[in-house]
Structure formats: C-alpha cells, structure tokens
C-alpha cells in the first residue's frame, strides 16, 4: 500500500507523540534514583506505546547509529543509558503537557493505552505458545499496531473526533472514513515506523493488522500474531468469532486455549495498572477523559516539565559558557530561578587539590571576604569537606548536637546572614571540582527538601561544565608545551649550524673597520652591522626561551637612541621597499630605562616589520615616545609605577580582525599566512613582561592598529656593572 503524499508530508513534520503522565512521572523518578537499574526503566517504558516508539526511533537513528539494529526496549535502554532515556521522555511529553488530555475528548488515550497493551501482551503470550522465535518482537508490534491513530488524533483533531463519535462500535466504518480523510491508521502507523527505521517485519505487522483474513493466511507469523491479538483485544468479556477462527486457522489454537491466554493477558494487565497506580479503562467503559485520580499526577508532571525546561535552558547556557566565571554565573542564575535562593557562593578546588578557595559573584562588600576564605581538605569536620568526601548534599540544620562546628563553617553562616547553609558537591567523573554553598533559614530549608534530586542534577551539570573547561585549558597547555619542546629541539640544531658563518662575517667586518679607520669612512654603519650580528646571535640563543629562562644583559638605555638606530637599519631594507613612511615623535626629555638592549630592539623590529607588511599599499607608521611622571591606571594600562616611559606604535594598515585580537599574544597565533610561525607577538609580550612592563593593542577594521608599551623608570631590574 502506498501512503498519500499529504500523509507523507505530515509524517515528515511529526515530532511528538503523547504519553501518559503516570508513566512519565515514574520514569523520571526512577532515572533520578541511584538504586534503580536499567531493567526498571525498560519495564516502565514498555508499558507505554508512544514512549516505546520514541525510544526505539532515537536509538536506531543515524545520530546513534548502532552496529546492529536494536529491536527491544531493554536493548535500547542499555545502549542509551538512563540520562538519554530521561531526555527522550521529556521531549516526547512536551505535546501532552502543552495540550493536555481533554476531559471530554472523543479519543480516550487511556482506552487506547489499554487496547495497545492488551494486544501486546496477548501477542507475546501467543508467540510463546506457538514457539515463535522472538516473543519480544511480537510484544513490540502489538504495542505499536495502532500508533497511526495518535497521528490522526493529533493532526486532525476535529474531523477525527467526529469519525470516532459516529462509528465508535464499527471498526470497519472508522477505517473507511480514515481512508476518505487521508489514509487508514494502519497505513499511517506503518509509514511512521518505516520512517523511524523499524524492522520490516514490525512495519508489515502494523500495516496489515486490518487486512482480510484470506490475505493474512499466507503471510509471515508475526503478521498473524498481531492480527489475532488485535481482533481479540476488544471489549472485556466479548469474544470475537473472527478472531477465534483466525487463531484456530493460523496456529491451531482452539477456543479453550485462547480463553486461557486472554485471561492471563487480563491478569498481567491488572498487575501493570496496579504497579503504575493508575486507573485503566477498557473499551467497554463509558467514561472518557481525566478523572480526579489523574489530575494530581498530571499537575505534577506539568510542574516537573516546567522545571526540566529551565534545567534544559540552564544546560544549554552552560555548554556555551566561555570561562569559569560564566559557568558560575549561569549556575547562580539556575539556582535563583528554580529554587528562589538569592545567596549563593562557591568554594573551588585549587589545582593542587590542597584546599577549597572561596568565590562569590555577589557585588556586595558584605560578601567580599568570601574570596579570602580557604578551607583545607584536612579540615574533615567542615561541612564543605564532608560534602565532597561523602559526595552528598550536607547542611548545618541536621548536624548532630555532639558534633562541634568548625570556624570556617560558622564564618560562612554569619556572612550569609541566614540561620544555616546547605552544601552541594560539584563532582564530575569522580573528580571533585568544588562546593556550592547556599544560605537558608529553617523554613526555606524544609521547603527545599523535596527538590534534592534537582539540586544534585544542577550541581552535576555545573561540575561537568567546569571540568570540560578545565580539560580544554589543560589540553591547550599541553599542545603548546609540545610545540615549544619541538621548537627548542630544532632551535639547538639551527644555532649550531649558524654560529660558524656568523663568526666569519664578524671577522671580515673587523678587518674592514681596520682598513677604513684611517679615513673614518662608514664607521657608524659598521658599528650598527656589528651590533645587529651580535643581536642575531642572541636571538638564536633565545630560540629556546619558551622552555628556559632568559639571561639578560641589562643596561641603562635611552629608548630614543634605540629607535633612531632602527630608522637607519630598516629604512632602505623594509620601509622604502613597502612604500611606508616612518615618522618619529620622540620626547627629548625621555628618561633612560633599565633594559636589555637587544631584547627591546627585537620588540620594536617585530612591531615595525608587522606594520610594514600589513600595509601592502603603503602608508604612515608613527612612533611616539613620552615620559609620564604620574601613576596611570586606566582600562588599557595598569602599572603600579609612578614614573614610566610610554612608546606608541601606530600604523595605517587594515587593522587586526576582532576574533584574532583575543589570542594575538599567544604562541602560534597570528593574522599572517605563509611561512610565519605566529611567534612574534608572543615573544614581544614575554620580553615586555620580563622588563615589568605592559603592552596592549587597540585596533578597528580599516583604521589600523595601535600598540602601546609601558616601561617603568623606577624598576626593580638592576643594570649589570659596567653596562
């Protein structure tokens, strides 16, 4: 049978199938309890057709792509795990929560559930009786055989309600009306299961469960099992002659055998209903809709879903948080939204696992001392340490009278301004991340006691986000360290090879200087060349500085003279060639600084070279120096030195992209392409920081880049004697 195009489009847009609130409440409760296993989850899911279909659809989707198609709920639960099952249950219940089960609806979902489950149980019992190879497959097919009715009810509520009201006692008339409206529920159900990648045998069993008996007689056993089970799962006490005849003709099961199997199916149905604490309605029941016994669990589910929606949004925000501060901020927001607790602090584990250090996001001087608090891990009587050690929520309200409190706990309670505290352990993959501490009064604490599972879930999500961020940072450091080690090894080989020709060049320059000394010709140029060769030697020796400390040759240095020499060195070789105009504005009253000449020369050469290469069409490059005698602490420059030298290097290039500015001073990160290693600005920053200075950059697209360097005049660095 071919499904009409309009129904095919409908199936393509289908996202939700409603489930009973009782089933979902039990499922969520079991997922949140540690002592329940996966078998408990499987037993609950198997009792609801909508949720069964959703779970099997997800587990067999391209996203999970198991090597072998999973046919049973138990296999799916073990493959996905409890967390994924909980999420599937929440997603599948969204439609039910938003629209509810109408009290006077013509489609009674409890009767639908009763019929589907009775058909599934009877099909499984018959499969065992006839020694069919896979009784669970028969159960699954029986559970899903009428799932097309839910599709019709959700998508065509008004016309389908009229059909059900007019032809409630005549299944064949309902099928005929379904065909005139769109397609039969058997066709729609089969198309849905095929779209979900169900096994073809299951799809066929759903497709043909209303076919004529003469067509069924030549079909596969699974189709016959579902056909007979559906025919005999009508009203309680009513024997369908056609179903009985089919059971005898297909399987040789007489009326006595079938009566016994149907009685056994009804007994199992009652056990399931009692275990779920719900009222089921057989097809013969005149009532429809939600009873008073149903309203409370449905209201609980609605509240549960609202909280789960907040938790889902909280989790999404955590995953997009860029750093530890953002993670803690989202955690505070989640706690305040879900539990209305305004006072939340954190105690984070230090990297060496020695103590917990306080952290707060509350901008209030009252709580500022939290950041100065440290709780050693050896202080085992502390509620915070007990919380981490036992991996359970602890509080000050249930502390035994004979247990002596420790000073940090008492201080935290006083800082909170509340009667007590509750501590949530932040643990991920058995790794202790820290503790969330909340201040509460007794009344608030007792009101919170019913939300322990949600508190643990929130703390677990926060801990996982923190751990992921810390792992990423550690991995980045490891990668950078490996790159540095590789660079150091290569540098040592380069230094060995280059030193020999450099020594030869210096010897020839010395001879050239002696020959020209009588006429004083080009002595200044020879001096600069010698200095540059010495600087090259030092640069080569410093290629290992990412893993080793630099050895400085400090001297009292005039920055203006250094920049004037660079103008001579780089004028013809770089600036003129790139049509770049270098304009120096040097403060004549600039005081000297204590620095390593070659290191600072390398800083300025890197900045000038970067600017010249960025200005492919030429432009102006401006270098300005000035002496500032007052302390400067603005958003760009923060230095504790009252006197400092400021050097500004500004170009008229295209600017630095915003996404690169954040990491521009990190090793192997840069805006250049080709043979550039991306080390220049990282070296520049290291050199400036070793001189106890600062460097920052301001850049806008199309407006060039401005680098500002601040070097202290009164520095703790000391020049070497004789320099």
What is the CATH number for 688?
A: 3.30.565.10
Integer Cα distance of 722 and 720 in angstroms: 6
The DSSP-derived string for 681-721 is HHHHHHHHHHTT-EEEEEE-TTS-EEEEEEEESS-S--PPT
Q: Are residues 70 and 145 in the same domain?
A: no
Whole-prediction pTM: 0.40
Q: Are residues 83 and 216 in the same domain?
A: no
Among the ranges 2-6, 30-34, 319-323, which has the highest mean pLDDT value?
319-323
Q: Are residues 588 and 599 in the same domain?
A: yes
**By the 8 A CB rule, do 428 and 438 touch?**
no
**By the 8 A CB rule, do 56 and 78 touch?**
no
The per-residue pLDDT for 100 is 44
Integer Cα distance of 205 and 220 in angstroms: 9
With cut-offs at 50, 70 and 90, classify the pLDDT of residue 645: very high
Q: Given 3-state DSSP classes, what are the helix, strand and coil percentages for the chain, each rounded to the nearest 5?
A: 55, 10, 30
CATH number at residue 407: 3.30.450.40
The per-residue pLDDT for 134 is 82
Q: Is 180 within a domain? A: yes
Q: Are residues 71 and 146 in the same domain?
A: no
Q: Which two structure tokens, joined as six digits, stand for 323?
A: 């750093």
With cut-offs at 50, 70 and 90, classify the pLDDT of residue 22: low
Q: Tell me the pLDDT of the chain averaged across its residues.
A: 77
With cut-offs at 50, 70 and 90, classify the pLDDT of residue 18: very low
Partner residues linked to 594 by β-bridges: 556
Q: What percent of the chain has pLDDT over 90?
A: 17
With cut-offs at 50, 70 and 90, classify the pLDDT of residue 7: low
Integer Cα distance of 51 and 135 in angstroms: 20
Q: Are residues 70 and 156 in the same domain?
A: no
Residue 649 pLDDT > 90:
yes
With cut-offs at 50, 70 and 90, classify the pLDDT of residue 188: confident
CB within 8 Å of 254: residues ≥ 6 apart: 247, 248
Q: Is 64 within a domain? A: yes
Integer Cα distance of 583 and 562 in angstroms: 15
Partner residues linked to 347 by β-bridges: 358, 435
Integer Cα distance of 395 and 384 in angstroms: 9
- Please report how the helices 407-416 and 383-390 are oriented relative to each other, as an axis angle in degrees rounded to 10: 100
Look up the domain containing 701 and give its range.
552-712
Q: pLDDT tens across 556-592, in order?
A: 889 999 998 888 777 766 677 778 888 999 999 899 9
Q: Are residues 428 and 458 in the same domain?
A: yes
Q: Is 540 within a domain? A: no
Per the structure, the count of domains in the chain is 4
The DSSP-derived string for 437-467 is EEEE-HHHHHHHGGGHHHHHHHHHHHHHHHH
Partner residues linked to 696 by β-bridges: 708
Q: Which two structure tokens, joined as six digits, stand for 335?
A: 């706690």
The per-residue pLDDT for 394 is 92
Q: Is 483 within a domain? A: no
Sequence-separated contacts (24+) of 301-309 with Cβ below 8 Å = 301/21, 301/24, 301/25, 301/93, 301/96, 301/97, 302/97, 304/25, 304/28, 305/90, 305/93, 305/94, 305/97, 307/338, 307/454, 308/90
Cα diameter, the chain: 130
Domain end among 446, 472, 498: 472
Integer Cα distance of 532 and 598 in angstroms: 9
Residue 415 pLDDT > 80:
yes
> In 3D, which of 387, 396, 398 has the Cα closest to residue 426?
387
Selected residue with higher pLDDT from 221 and 98 = 221
Q: pLDDT tens across 354-410, in order?
A: 899 999 887 777 777 788 889 999 998 899 999 999 999 999 998 876 667 788 898
CATH number at residue 143: 1.10.3210.10
**By the 8 A CB rule, do 301 and 21 touch?**
yes
The per-residue pLDDT for 123 is 93
Integer Cα distance of 435 and 370 in angstroms: 13
Q: Are residues 301 and 343 in the same domain?
A: no
Q: H or E stretch including 224?
A: helix 221-231
Integer Cα distance of 531 and 224 in angstroms: 96
Q: Are residues 70 and 55 in the same domain?
A: yes
User: b or e along 351-362 (b: 16 or more beta carbons within 10 Å of the residue's beta carbon)?
Assistant: eeeebbbbbbee
For residues 628-632, give the mean pLDDT: 64
Cβ neighbours of 8 (radius 10 Å): 14
For residues 227-231, give the mean pLDDT: 93
Q: Are residues 355 and 338 in the same domain?
A: yes
For residues 662-688, give the mean pLDDT: 63
Task: For residue 590, give the 3-state DSSP assignment.
Answer: coil
Domain end among 278, 299, 319: 319
Q: Is 693 within a domain? A: yes
Q: Which two structure tokens, joined as six digits, stand for 207?
A: 């497709």
Q: Is 671 within a domain? A: yes
> In 3D, which of 332, 334, 335, 415 has the Cα closest to residue 371?
415
Number of Cα atoms under 13 Å in the Cβ half of residue 650: 13
For residues 34-54, give the mean pLDDT: 72
Asked which of 264-273, 302-311, 444-453, 596-605 is least confident by mean pLDDT, the reply is 302-311
Among the ranges 90-99, 430-439, 659-668, which has the highest mean pLDDT value?
430-439
Residue 180 pLDDT > 70:
yes
The per-residue pLDDT for 19 is 47
Q: pLDDT tens across 513-566, in order?
A: 777 776 666 777 777 787 778 777 777 766 655 444 444 578 888 999 999 888
Selected residue with higher pLDDT from 215 and 492 = 215
Q: pLDDT tens across 278-320, in order?
A: 456 666 554 444 555 555 555 555 555 556 656 666 666 777 7
Q: What percent of the chain has pLDDT over 70?
A: 74
**By the 8 A CB rule, do 619 and 651 touch?**
yes
Integer Cα distance of 649 and 614 in angstroms: 14
Q: Are residues 341 and 192 in the same domain?
A: no
Q: Are residues 330 and 417 in the same domain?
A: yes
Domain end among 319, 338, 371: 319
Integer Cα distance of 706 and 621 in angstroms: 10
Residue 511 pLDDT > 50:
yes
With cut-offs at 50, 70 and 90, classify the pLDDT of residue 636: very low
**By the 8 A CB rule, do 93 and 20 touch?**
no
CA 35 vs CA 31, 194, 304: distances in Å: 10, 36, 21
Q: Is 66 within a domain? A: yes
CB within 8 Å of 356: residues ≥ 6 apart: 347, 348, 349, 350, 374, 375, 377, 384, 385, 388, 434, 435
Q: Is 371 within a domain? A: yes
Q: Are residues 132 and 119 in the same domain?
A: yes
The per-residue pLDDT for 498 is 80
Partner residues linked to 649 by β-bridges: 623, 707
Task: For residue 352, give the 3-state DSSP assignment.
Answer: coil
The per-residue pLDDT for 32 is 56
**By the 8 A CB rule, do 691 and 716 touch?**
no
Q: H or E stretch including 555?
A: strand 554-557
Integer Cα distance of 429 and 147 in angstroms: 40
> In 3D, which of 101, 96, 83 has the Cα closest to residue 312?
83
DSSP state of 254: -
The DSSP-derived string for 18-86 is ---HHHHHHHHHHHH-TT--HHHHHHHHTT-HHHHHHHHHHHTSTTT--SS---SHHHHHHHH-HHHHH
Partner residues linked to 423 by β-bridges: 394, 437
Q: Which two structure tokens, joined as six digits, stand for 425?
A: 């352990």
Integer Cα distance of 103 and 93 in angstroms: 18
């Amino acid at each position: 049978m071919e499904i009409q195009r309009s129904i095919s489009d409908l199936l393509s847009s289908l996202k939700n199938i409603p489930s009973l609130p009782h089933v979902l409440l039990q499922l969520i409760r079991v997922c949140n309890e540690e002592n329940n296993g996966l078998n408990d989850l499987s037993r609950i899911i198997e009792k609801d057709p909508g949720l069964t279909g959703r779970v099997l659809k997800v587990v067999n989707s391209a996203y999970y792509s198991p090597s072998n198609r999973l046919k049973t709920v138990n296999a799916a639960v073990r493959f996905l795990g409890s967390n994924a099952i909980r999420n599937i249950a929440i997603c599948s219940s969204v439609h039910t929560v938003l629209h509810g089960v109408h009290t006077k609806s013509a489609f009674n979902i409890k009767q639908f559930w009763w019929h589907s489950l009775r058909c599934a149980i009877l099909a499984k019992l018959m499969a065992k009786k006839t020694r069919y190879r896979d009784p669970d497959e028969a159960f699954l097919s029986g559970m899903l055989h009428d799932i097309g009715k839910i599709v019709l009810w959700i998508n065509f509520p008004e016309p389908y309600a009229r059909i059900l009201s007019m032809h409630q006692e005549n299944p064949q008339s309902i099928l005929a009306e379904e065909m005139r409206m769109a397609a039969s529920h058997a066709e729609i159900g089969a198309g849905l299961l095929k779209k979900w990648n169900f096994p073809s045998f299951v799809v066929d069993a759903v497709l043909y469960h209303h076919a004529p008996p003469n067509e069924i007689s030549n079909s596969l056993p699974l189709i016959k099992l579902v056909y007979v089970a559906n025919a005999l799962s009508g009203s309680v006490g009513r024997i369908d002659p056609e179903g009985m005849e089919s059971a005898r003709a297909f399987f040789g099961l007489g009326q006595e055998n079938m009566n016994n199997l149907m009685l056994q199916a009804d007994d199992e149905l009652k056990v399931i209903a009692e275990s779920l604490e719900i009222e089921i309605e057989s097809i013969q029941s005149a009532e429809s809709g939600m009873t008073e016994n149903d309203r409370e669990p449905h209201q609980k589910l609605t509240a549960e879903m609202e909280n789960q929606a907040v938790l889902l949004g909280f989790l999404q925000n955590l995953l997009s948080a860029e750093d530890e501060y953002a993670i803690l901020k989202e955690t505070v927001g989640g706690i305040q939204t879900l539990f209305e607790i305004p006072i939340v602090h954190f105690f984070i584990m230090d990297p060496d696992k020695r103590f917990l250090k306080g952290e707060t996001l509350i901008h209030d001087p009252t709580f500022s001392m939290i950041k100065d608090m440290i709780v050693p891990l050896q202080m085992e009587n502390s509620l915070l340490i007990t919380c981490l050690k036992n991996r359970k929520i602890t509080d000050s309200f249930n502390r035994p009278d004979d247990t002596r409190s420790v000073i940090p706990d008492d201080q935290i309670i006083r800082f909170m301004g509340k009667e007590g505290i509750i501590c949530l352990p932040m643990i991920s993959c058995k790794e202790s991340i820290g503790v969330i501490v909340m201040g509460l009064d007794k009344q608030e604490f007792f009101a919170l006691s019913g939300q322990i599972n949600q508190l643990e879930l929130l703390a677990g999500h926060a801990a996982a986000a923190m751990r992921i961020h810390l792992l990423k940072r550690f991995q980045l450091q490891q990668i950078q360290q490996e790159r540095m080690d590789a660079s150091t090894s290569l540098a040592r080989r380069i230094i060995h090879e280059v030193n020999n020709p450099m020594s030869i060049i210096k010897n020839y320059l010395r001879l050239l200087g002696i020959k020209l000394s009588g006429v004083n010709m080009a002595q200044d140029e020879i001096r600069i060349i010698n200095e540059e060769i010495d600087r090259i030697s030092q640069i080569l020796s410093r290629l290992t500085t990412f893993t080793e400390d630099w050895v400085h040759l400090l001297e009292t240095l005039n920055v203006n003279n250094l920049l004037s020499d660079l103008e001579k060195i780089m004028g013809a070789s770089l600036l003129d060639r790139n049509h770049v105009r270098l304009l120096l504005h040097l403060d004549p009253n600039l005081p000297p600084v204590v620095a390593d000449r070659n290191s600072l020369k390398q800083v300025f050469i890197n900045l000038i070279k970067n600017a010249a290469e960025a200005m492919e069409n030429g432009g102006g490059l401006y270098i300005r120096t000035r002496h500032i005698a007052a302390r400067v602490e603005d958003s760009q420059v923060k230095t504790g030195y009252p006197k400092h030298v400021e050097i500004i290097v500004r170009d008229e290039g295209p600017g630095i992209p915003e996404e690169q500015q954040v990491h521009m001073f990190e090793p192997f990160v840069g805006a250049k392409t080709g043979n550039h290693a991306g080390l220049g600005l990282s070296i520049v920053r290291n050199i400036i920081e070793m001189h106890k200075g600062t460097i920052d950059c301001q850049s806008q697209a199309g407006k060039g880049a401005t680098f500002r360097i601040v070097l202290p005049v009164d520095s703790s660095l000391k020049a070497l004697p004789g320099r």
